Amino acid sequence: MAIISEKKMAEASNKLKVLSAEVQLRKYIPEQLSFWPEDRRAIANELARSALFSCRDHRKPRAYFDNIPLFMLGEGGMTYKGEELRSKDEDLFVTLAHCARELPSGKMVVHLTSSDICKMNEWPQDQRYYKEIFQSIQRMKGGILTLFSRRLTKVLKCQRALDAGASNEELTRLHDELAAFEESASFVVPLNKNGEEIAGMMLSFISGEPTFTGAKSIKEGIPQGNLSWEITLDKKLVSLFAKPYLTLVDFKARQALSATGKRLQAYFLSHKKPYPVKLRSLEKMLNLNFSDLGALKFNLTAQFEDLKKHCVITSYEFTKSADGSDWLVTVTRHQTTQND
């Protein structure tokens, strides 16, 4: 009887493990955006750690990228085809994702007005900002982002297995493989090491055909007035916004920061314990361009002080890089952000 009992216990244990595997896989492959509080904004880690949203001088003409590789700190890579995206584009995208977080699975359609967007971002409600919103929606609709990484390789395999109704044993195996990867330090290994498979996805922030009503007139190709928008977000964004890969930032603090400060806030909070990073690497991620290292350090020091002031970090420290050609900065996150 004891042997039978042990066998039944083993079967029950295996069954529980299978059910748990499918549940755990859904953490990495959600069917809809994760929910987050009203006082937070969400940024996918890959976007928080990349040079997709530039901090360049707004007075300079925007560049056009023809499938250009973008700098990324950490595991993975990305290319972008389209008109250069900047801070206001990121603000708008973060706003649209915030509005979509309460939508049911497969319903990534956001309805709001230009005035609503301005209110949510504390911008003036006037034609100048309505024009920026219109042009930003055009940019995000036209741009194509390609992401590739080991993480996506494993996640996409899991997604296809779930969609195909894979066996319990297969789901368990894939879950264990993905869990082991998440616990490892694989993110520091170059993508092309040992010829490993690399998967990825192409997406536009906005899919479908954005529509609007409420224009009072057209001036130089721009609708005038407070437009009412219907905007469909790309469903593939859901994979980027899975909870394990999501950074939540305090919205009030974000609003008080400069364009550069916002990007640094997202970057440092995308790590539970930020590791030392070179100033020149941060410069590339921010799309800044300082010929003099001292000037770069002076500029970023002011940004770090601002992050301290708004309780994003508690401290920062500079040390010379091993070859003496750069500075490494180490920051400590504010304790109130540790469980965001």
Could you report the per-residue pLDDT of 251-292, keeping only the tens digit for each? 999 999 999 999 999 999 999 899 999 999 999 999 999 999
Name the nearest CA neighbour of 21 among 154, 151, 157, 158.
158
Q: What is the pLDDT of residue 320?
A: 96
Whether 338 shows a pLDDT value over 50: the answer reads no
Kindly state the average pLDDT of the residues 48-57. 94
Kindly state the average pLDDT of the residues 40-52. 95
Say how far apart CA 274 and CA 271 lie, in whole Å.
Answer: 5
Q: What is the pLDDT of residue 74?
A: 83
**8 A C-beta contact, residue 192 and residue 153:** no
Token representation of residue 14 = 């295996």
Is the pLDDT higher at 170 or at 294? 294
**8 A C-beta contact, residue 41 and residue 112:** no
Is the pLDDT higher at 50 or at 181? 50
Q: What is the pLDDT of residue 290?
A: 94
Kindly state the average pLDDT of the residues 215-238. 95
Q: What is the pLDDT of residue 321?
A: 93
Say how far apart CA 36 and CA 340 lie, in whole Å.
Answer: 10
- Directed axis angle between helix 127-142 and helix 114-121, to 10°? 100
Whether 18 shows a pLDDT value over 70: the answer reads no
**8 A C-beta contact, residue 317 and residue 305:** no
Q: What is the pLDDT of residue 4?
A: 58
Confidence of residue 16 (pLDDT cuts 50, 70, 90): low
**8 A C-beta contact, residue 312 and residue 334:** yes
Whether 167 shows a pLDDT value over 90: the answer reads no
Report how far apart, in Å, the C-alpha atoms of 319 and of each of 183, 230, 278 are.
29, 49, 9
Instruction: Please report, rounded to a whole number, the percentage of residues in the chain having pLDDT higher than 70.
Output: 86
Report how far apart, in Å, the C-alpha atoms of 132 and of each of 99, 116, 135 are.
19, 14, 5
Report how far apart, in Å, the C-alpha atoms of 26 and of each of 74, 154, 203, 289 are.
24, 13, 21, 41
Whether 188 shows a pLDDT value over 50: the answer reads no
Say how far apart CA 133 and CA 224 lie, in whole Å.
Answer: 12
Say how far apart CA 121 and CA 255 lie, in whole Å.
Answer: 8
Side by side, the strands of the sheet bearing 327-333 are: 277-278, 327-333, 313-320
Say how far apart CA 330 and CA 336 lie, in whole Å.
Answer: 18
Q: What is the pLDDT of residue 1?
A: 47
Q: In this structure, are strands 228-233 and 109-113 parallel, antiparallel, or unpaired?
A: antiparallel
Name the nearest CA neighbour of 282 among 293, 170, 273, 157.
293
Give the length of the chain: 340
Best-predicted range by mean pLDDT (34-38, 158-162, 249-253): 249-253
Whether 123 shows a pLDDT value over 70: the answer reads yes
